[in-house]
Structure 1
Amino acid sequence: MHVPDGFINTPVSVAAGVVAAAAVAVSLRGARRELGGLSAQAEGMGGERTAPLAGLVAAFIFAVQMLNFPVAAGTSGHLLGGALAAILVGPYTGVLCVSVVLLMQGILFADGGLTALGVNITVMGVVTVVIAYGVFRGLLKVLPAGRRSVTVAAFAGALLSVPGAAAAFTAVYAVGGTTDVPLGKVLTAMVGVHVLIGIGEAAITAATVGAVIAVRPDLVHGARGLTTRLKLRIGGELVDAPAPAASPVAARSTTAVWATGLVTALVLAGFVSFYASASPDGLEKVAADQGIDQKVEEHAAKDSPLADYAVKDVADARLSGGLAGALGVGATVAVGTGVFWVVRRRATATASDATAAEPSAV
């Protein structure tokens, strides 16, 4: 659903950019708590384990977005990633993850317009996270506490987030569209095809969240606090077993998970992506059918060495696409990790300052 330059007029693109910048600014503050700020430490939210994985989540989303899957005749879809990121690392950090992915795609791969970056962050990042995480948390309040409920809630949140994003794009187009197209037809077409794409999004999100929960439930932001206490039968009655002592951070190393996730992302982007559907995605198909793309503009980064997910001057299509995908994963994990490391450092510094400012007991 990457919106190219020319779909939305300049004033609305600028306004969307302001909205996106404000959302990123708010997310930076919220991510400090999710990545290990004072409140996170006080509540035992595991921020020290989230920080090194946030960059990996961004890279994984980048890789899976290269895997377009067929959803209808001549149409494909791909992961948006807002639901997955929000559930794995938290909603504020999730917005930042998707924003990093969109920035890398726009600058390096000419995917998604640069003047439309604000629109893309707002629609694909903010809207998907808000809808998905809202549905996710709402369902967890009514479902039985447990890992299965987390997976079910993740599926539902991801499913609804995609047509929600499609509706949000239609709303933006209604205000700033550059062509005169009946909005009812655009809304029907966008939501219709993205409901189908949402099923794929939901399946990928639920499968990924379920896989991480099976190995390290403590690393899933949305699953924290939902662990069922072990029951012991004493005197014929079931009672809660004593809570296990908290293990030190060093004993909860994320190295194996991080390495496995990175290798998986590299394989998906560098090899599996070659077999992805070549059909236009939902937005491209609707734009062509409804005439939204009449004033589309060439991408400012069209001459990038990695434009269109291919390495320039590498003739072999499989090798060219594989190298581009691997480079994209590497660039995204590097930039994402750098961003989240800075946020984490500032969170730690803020927590330390707050602790030092507390009056000592007399």
Structure 2
Amino acid sequence: MHVPDGFIDLPVSAATGAVAAAAVAVSLRGARRELDERTAPLAGLVAAFIFAVQMLNFPVAAGTSGHLLGGALAAILVGPYTGVLCVSVVLLMQGILFADGGLTALGVNITDMAVVTTAVAYVLFRALVTVLPRTRRSVTVASFAAALVSVPAAALAFTGLYAIGGTSDVPLGKTLTAMVGVHLLIGIGEAAITALTVGAVIAVRPDLVYGARGLTAPLKLRVGGELVDAAPTAAEVPSPRSSRTVWAAGLVTALVLAGFVSFYASADPDGLEKVAADQGIDRKTEEHHTADSPLADYGVSDVSDARISGGLAGVIGVGATIAVGSGVFWAVRRRRTAAGAASVPPETA
């Protein structure tokens, strides 16, 4: 659902740019509370994984494909504020390096694909885990439902923005029906990917899933007539080595998906591209400002073999995303640590 330049006029693009900047600023502050010793190392990996899976367009209808948006997945794994930052980093990398999503439309894309999807998904997810039994299966079910709803919500948000600042005169009723309809189908794929990923992480390290924290109550012991929390056993305390194993497995998976599996992705236009062509939204599409980038359209220039070119571009994208994302989250985590140290009063003699 990457909106190119020319779909939305400049005033609305500028307004959504301000909204996106404000959302990112709020998320930077909120992420300080979310990024601890567990989520901080995972956050950059989540951004890279979303980048990789977004390269895997899957067919959803005749002549139409879809891909992961990632807001629900990021919010559940590392928290809603950090999730907004994860998807924003992905969109920034795609726009600058791969000419995917317009630069003047970056605010539109962040507002729609990062803010709307993350907010809608996490609110629904928290509501569901509150009423469902406190089990790992419930977290997976809630993840599926939250991701499913987040995609048509983003389609609805785009249609609203187009109604305000669209550059072509199109029948908005038909556009809304087409956008929500096709993205509801894409949402099923998003839900499946999100639930499978969250379920896989929960199976090995439930403590790494932000949305699953507090899932099980600590064991209680009666001491002196009072109930107290029992100390965790050695088996219940995850080792740093197991965290590194999960991180390494996630990185290898992202590299394989982007570097190899992406070659077999559907070549059909995605939901927005298909609706835009059918409804005439794309009449005033502008050429991307970085169309001559050596990585434009997810291929390496001067590499003639399509498989190698696409695979190299995917690997470079994963590496760039995890580097930039990890740098951002390291800086936010460092500021949290510095703020915490500053709040501790000095010892008095």
State the TM-score bracket (shorter-chain normalisation).
over 0.9
CA distance in 2 between counterparts of 1:264 and 1:117 reads 28
SS at match of 1:356: coil
User: Structure 1 residue 124: deviation in Å?
Assistant: 0.2
1:340 — aligned with what? 329
Residue number in structure 2 paired with 1:139:
128
Are 2:65 and 1:65 aligned?
A: no
Equivalent residue, structure 1, for 2:232? 244
Q: Which amino acid aligns with 2:301?
A: K
Alignment match, 2:37: 48
- Pair 51,241 (structure 1): closer, same or farther in 2 beyond 3 Å: closer
Percent identical pairs in the alignment equals 78
Equivalent of residue 183 in structure 2, options 172, 194, 214: 194
How much does 1:112 deviate?
0.2
Q: How does 1:114-263 map to 2 (within 5 A)?
A: 114-229=103-218, 242-244=230-232, 251=240, 253-263=242-252
Q: Provide the residue aligned with 2:75 in structure 1.
A: 86
Shift of 1:49: 1.3
TM-score (norm 2): 0.95
1:160 deviation in Å? 0.1
Give the Cα separation in 1 of the matches to 2:110 and 2:232.
42
Name the CA distance, whole Å, in 1 between partners of 2:217 and 2:191.
25
CA distances 1:181-237 after superposition (whole Å, capped 9, x unpaired) = 0110110000000000000000000000000000000000000001255699xxxxx
Letter in 2 for 1:337: S
Aligned residue in 2 for 1:295: 284
Identify if the C-alpha distance between structure 1 residues 319 and 252 changes in structure 2 by more than 3 Å, giving closer, same or farther.
closer
Task: Name the aligned partner's letter for residue 178 of structure 1.
Answer: T
1:351 to 324, 340, 344: 340
CA distance in 1, matches of 2:66, 2:125: 22
Which amino acid counterpart does residue 71 of structure 2 have in structure 1?
G
User: Structure 1 residues 156 and 172, CA, compared in 2 at 3 Å: closer, same or farther?
Assistant: same
Aligned-pair Cα RMSD in Å: 1.9
In the alignment, the residues of structure 1 paired with residue 240 and residue 8 of structure 2 have an alpha-carbon distance, to the nearest angstrom, of 51
The Cα of 1:251 is off from its aligned counterpart by 4.3
Quick one: which amino acid aligns to residue 251 of structure 2?
A: L
Post-superposition, which runs of at least 4 consecutive aligned residues in structure 1 deviate over 4 A? 228-232, 245-253
* Count of residue pairs the alignment pairs up: 343
- Residue 266 of structure 1 is aligned with which of 245, 255, 268? 255
> What corresponds to 1:3 in structure 2?
3
Q: Which amino acid aligns with 1:33?
A: R
**Map of 1:13 onto structure 2:** 13
Query: 1:24 aligned to 2:27?
Result: no
Secondary structure in 2 matching 1:76 = strand
CA distance in 2, matches of 1:182, 1:137: 36
Q: Alpha-carbon deviation of 1:355?
A: 1.6
Listed one character per residue, the Cα deviations across residues 244-281 of structure 1 (whole Å, up to 9, x for unaligned) are 16887864652111111000000000000000000000
Structure 2's unaligned 5+ residue stretches are: 222-226
User: How far is the alpha carbon of 1:242 from its aligned partner?
Assistant: 3.2
